[in-house]
Structure 1
Amino acid sequence: MEMKIDKSNWKTVKLIDVFTKKEENDKENARNRFDRFLKVSHMDAESLHIKRWSSQENGEELNPYFYKIFRKGQILFPTRNPHLRRTALASFDGITGEKTLTLEPKEEHLVPEYIPFLFHSESFYVHTTGAIIGSTNPHCRWRDVANYEFLLPPKDQQAKLAELLWAMDDVIEMENKVLEKLKKDDLAYLKHYFYDDKTSERIKLKHIVSIKKGRKPPVLLEEGEGLPYCTAKYLRTGEIDSIVPKGAWDKSIKIDETDILVLWDGSNAGEMLFGKNGFLASTMCRLNIKQDDFLKEFVFQFLRFKTNDIKRATVGSAIPHVDPGMIENIEIPKLSVKNQKAIIDMFNSIKNNISLIETKISSSKALQKSLINQVF
């Protein structure tokens, strides 16, 4: 999105010219004055919105370094790890950590609704990440942030641009709400079919599946002729790290898009994935369906519901791995093939809608970022 913006009457200012750094610290009594406190982890990358926080009323412990008070309408900029792009617009009063800047716009220069988007512009992050000091605890200083220069339009133009920027932001937030609803529906249906159903006959998984562990081929290439070595990374992202050459195929386990796979070893042991065309990695297992009256995708959806239970039951302290007995003794509902197909179709519909809305969000964010970078 390219807009023709006349910047001839815009003036160069430093951030310190239009913002005041507020230092409202109360080491002794802040925890008694405010319930909600905000960690950097509560802030989403490249989003001005605060959607979660911690609460003392809920029994969450307040870090002793959390005594800085922030006020609604202030910009919260964490100086540690600025490359994470977590800057938020405070929507309530609360407490945050001492290393988060609390910045208040000077309204004689600024339209308050306009300026928050500055903090998610590419030029601002290039400036702040370029000013990082410290290797163990990388951070930038207020004086470096304060010296950031940018072009500031007259207030009437700020108001018009603010209206456009927030309209785009509203679209993204509406799309995010749709996505959140779809994901909640997905979880609700998993629970409905695989937990709430107390009437269906159930059968242990060991009677309908067999488990085949992957193995590392004798030869792996970084590039060349062959098929992908299907690691968890490749299955999630499509990024190929290794190729299995044709000469090693007879010593490898071939898989395709219809195979149900379980990440067997490592920190994410128990994660369920569908396969891709290639060869099974040594950290993965393939589940083969032994009974024709159970559909692969139905078994996959059931195991997706059981993933957290499987992960909690992993064994081994150094390298966690899935307990095969745990999987084999899970009881799956025994439904007709017709009912299994109906459930599969419903979950596929939700998945397709999630994919569609995620694409829309990605497109909307790219459009918003393009405009922000043109303005600031």
Structure 2
Amino acid sequence: MSKVFLGDVAKERKETCKDGKDGYPIVGLEHLIPEEINLLSWDEDKENTFTKIFRKGDVLFGRRRAYLKKAAVAPFDGICSGDITVIEPIPEKILPELLPFIIQNDTFFDYAVNKSAGSLSPRVKWEYLKNYKFELPDMDKQRELAKVLWAMEATKKSYKKLLQKTDELVEAQFIEMFGDPNKATNTVHLEEAFQIRNDLR
């Protein structure tokens, strides 16, 4: 395992699209969820001024307020906000499937925060991000590691879905037993149902 700079294994994509943006999915900072490695939402056919292009497999890093820990892998080609740094893996140097976990990482975010400039809305530039240093194994080990990490991510996703379904089931059973409080018509004020006394002895 050897130490490498991020700029040795990835580069900033600077591709832009000033005309013919129709049909491209649109990603803003608001679509990046803190500590979520997958891109779960985006806009389509919405008026925008974005010109920065990203490609499937790139990592979209929220360079504004890096402490929010926003970074996700792109599942398709699209355009994004200028406050998103598009990080393109160099396949000969790093397994593209592993790069998202290098970026969506507390150590990387801490580094980005320390290199950010600005008081109200701090931003970090690629010229600093590319100097982030980390340990990288050989390609065979990268494949093994990526396989394990994505399996863990799938398990976490399934667990979240299970929790959501459990919450929905509990809510449904509550409504079945006690009725929907939002639709109740036979409600009364507390003071109408009970005598409130202030002369406690």
- Does the TM-score normalized on the shorter chain lie above 0.5? yes
Residue 194 (structure 2) aligns with: 290
Instruction: Identify if the C-alpha distance between structure 1 residues 63 and 22 changes in structure 2 by more than 3 Å, giving closer, same or farther.
Output: same
SS where residue 104 of structure 1 aligns? strand
Q: Deviations over 1:194-246 (max 9, x none)?
A: 2898xx9x42322xx13xxxxxxxxxxxxxxxxxxxxxxxxxxxxxxxxxxxx
Partner of 1:171: 155
Match of residue 44 from structure 2: 55
* 1:64-123 deviation digits (Å, cap 9, x = unpaired): 2x2212121110011101110010011122221012111111111112222211112222
In the alignment, structure 1 residue 122 sits paired with structure 2 residue 26: no
SS at the partner of 2:53?
Answer: strand
CA distance in 2, matches of 1:121, 1:84: 12
Query: CA 1:129–1:289 in structure 2 vs 1: closer, same or farther (change >3 Å)?
Result: farther
User: Taking CA–CA contacts closer than 8 Å with sequence separation of 6 or more, which of the two structures ends up with the larger relative contact order?
Assistant: 2
CA distance in 2, matches of 1:102, 1:15: 13
TM-score normalised by the chain length of structure 1: 0.47
Q: Which residue does 1:78 correspond to in 2?
A: 62
**C-alpha separation in 1, matches of 2:163 and 2:39:** 17
Residues 185 and 24 of structure 1: CA distance in aligned 2, closer, same or farther (over 3 Å): farther
Query: Equivalences for 1:1-376 in 2 at 5 Å?
Result: 10-30=1-21, 32-34=22-24, 36-56=25-45, 61-64=46-49, 66-186=50-170, 193-194=179-180, 202-206=185-189, 209-210=190-191, 290=194
The Cα of 1:156 is off from its aligned counterpart by: 0.9
Q: How many residues align?
A: 193
Could you say which structure has the larger radius of gyration? 1
Q: How far off its partner does 1:133 sit?
A: 0.2
**Aligned Cα RMSD in Å?**
2.5
Report percent identity of matched pairs. Answer: 30
How many Å apart are 1:188 and its aligned residue?
Answer: 5.1
Taking a change above 3 Å as real, the CA distance of residues 203 and 136 of structure 1, as seen in their structure-2 partners, is same
Q: Which has the higher helix share?
A: 1
The 8 Å contact of residues 35 and 70 in structure 2, kept in 1 or not, is answered as yes
Change beyond 3 A, Cα 1:190–1:98:
farther
Gaps of 5+ in 1: 1-9, 211-287, 292-376
